[in-house]
Structure 1
């Protein structure tokens, strides 16, 4: 982003240092684009003294929209240049543009011959009587590409993966859409209505007939899954859509810049151009008592606003809020028998077990689910809890798991992640992981009570201190805890638990195990139990799961 707010396309120069003069000339040729604020460029000249060139170069390429390859015989002979060419080719979001400096064998470099090269027709700059003509053609070609990038509004692959991600694991990779079942939704006649619910909404199309929607439901009733599913539907239908977790912006002043920052994190293209489109949609998840101002601003800038909120917050703060009178209020209800059977069938089919899709097998699984949900009344009939029970049917899961409380649902998902990451299904491997995670959760609680994350240095210090109190965590075990796909802790930009519920689960267990020593801390959390972070940790601390039958 430039200071003016214009989206800047990032260009990386890949060249042999023997062609340094050409790189300087190209910067001059593109100067007008930089003056307009639509282009920012990077070359290894910008690496500060003392930094590793290879690491800085790799990072710059990964963050670029365009990589311009200044191709000459020296470029082709350079191993470093070839590595940059191959790295850029591995990144689907990067446009590769060959800039032909001189006569050389560039057409023999595999994919390079298939790309549109500049100057026009791949004529080398050295063949022009007036080199300025060549640089002008390069300028015009790159300007056209830059405008295309700025007006190509596509979701970033990493953000799409985040939206499709599910905590429920199978033998094969699965996504939210693989087993999503449209929930049972009840609507009111307007925003200020008491029960009973007026009608059941039969389909997604019927739900989306309204420009302003307020979805509310109990905790873990499926609000966020529905929001993410609707967002992906909009994206796939080429509807301009934005997703925003209001919990992530609680400390920010409500203004359009919040939406722009969210857009830059999840979509490609220039926000200033994107927002000019019609029928824009924004989905605001996790409304709290102090984030309604973001809803007000969203209504000024978007044609359709969908808000999700927990029922207790809705009842306490928004049921009679006249500011939300435009919103159609919709409540997420427990699954019907038909919807539950559909969910069970879809999920069981993903296990890949022989005969898993037969009616007899499906019926036996459903009977087991009903035994827990209906007969024992342990869990409510919401997708999260049904799917938690079904997780135990995966072949890679331990065979001695039973669900006898809410806490077991989280325990089973955590076990699934550990086993898929390579942890053996034995107490002597699982218990050390749990102990390490409990200690880490309390470290995050004390070091970063709002972000629940620590930097690499703090994490390394924590590991050292942990090894002085307990047996040092094995390197192989730590690698599995940090597994990029299944680990319960992530280490991308900082160290934090993969999902918030994992953090609260282990923090609650730590506090329950050390209740006497930290009685004062627990007391303060109880006094401020109106804060979601305190409330969730206390729930897990008060109901420690019984791990086996």
Structure 2
């Protein structure tokens, strides 16, 4: 699908020992490969990372440049003598019967070799074969499985040549792919505003499904999610809309294997029981020996094909490292664990016990994700009630933060240290791109190894710091309830949806209250700690250390407050439940926090400027400088990320008192005159 293709980001690949350094490297667009800066380039990529699609796109682009690319497949290379392989490829691609004719064609000759890791030659002859290709072609680009990057002999073979690794799609590339998807068939007629609105809506859905790499952010997965979202909108399903997307992804795996329906049902039942067996062991894998012990027990109750492991390994549902068998992707594992928990094989007592265990370990990714998948599989009110009951216990001794004037009094000095808001002329697409790049940069330095270690050791050793786990539980609870709201809004009653949203708001704001009280109580200790850090900076004026520490402290308070309001809004918001969230907001008129969360939801999920609501908040916050500042920032951020009419900009200027930069004012005056001439 060349219409939706995006060049993935790549980074320079290092030997295994230097692999961890990659997170500090700058992402490079794979389009740089068209520049042919290196005679020999080796590209590593995981399965389904888009290696072959990239190779084919490079071939098309090279042909348009009047170069002469030739495609070879590593799996077919079994001898260092390449002439016959070249002759066969020439016959297929250029209808040339001899290599001599190819050599006489004018233009840069480029060899694109796919699946280099499947080449049957040993190291010595692989080296000879690559040298032979360099003799035959001006440029050689090899594509290989990412496992080969851990092979020191391969790195030694390619010393002096360029090596890259294909990355999963980050926020920038994901946005680009979704944008291409939205333009399919309407590229010439879709307005910029409608395109941005549609991309934003789909991005929220995709991010809710992919989450923290639960689903690999690879092109084929993102496209499958987009396709499944279209299908799920037109059908009613027993599982939730997001649950349908996950099911769709797994079904695609089996369909690519072209298995019969009966065999698929048998395999699904087997992996459902296997996933729960692994879950109960407290691990993410099972030894090969234990796998066969489990299979023997399973065969006493159910039919299963004798070659089930071979099928599941070939389909990449399961993986085998020689010692252990494990699920290839987290979403497959979590999906089937949850499926088993709500199945007929689980008693009511067993379900209750499992729910309690999962809720108690909500601070871990494993437990929180299984709970999320549980609500995709079942409509049982008992499951939702158990979750809500547990969420009420998180920071239960703390009242919700309302962000009233006296509550935020201690941080109002922040307004003296941050610039006044001004409406500037912004390129919306560029601004959105910059923000996505920042998110990618943050994501690149997040170390997932801590969570992997948690999953390896299970739950028992993670509770050393109750304070941190309680914070994590609060945030996971907001995400969990948000998933229920987003994916079950069509099948739950209005009062259930309201209870869920209120619970998410409450736990998030209880944590915010706890945080604000803590930083207020420990203000001096925090400032002293910050001073100690600043003292290590030789460029800082020593006389201004106290002032800098105070500024940082205030940024810490204000920044987290605003970020948490945004987090709650993005986690719980959905266009279909705006009226329910409005009702909660109307009933919480004394809570500036809930009123601001609702504003963010309206802006982000309806893509409209709620003028009446904004005007009301302006009056409510007349004596609350912090709430007023957050209100103004939310509105200005909306202006920078979505297309807004000049009349709306003028309205914001007059109602909120945010000045407009001169160049925008000139454009606005011109627009006004045009409207007066052509009413």
Kindly indicate which of the two structures has a greater share of residues assigned to helix: 2
Which has more strand, going by share of residues? 1
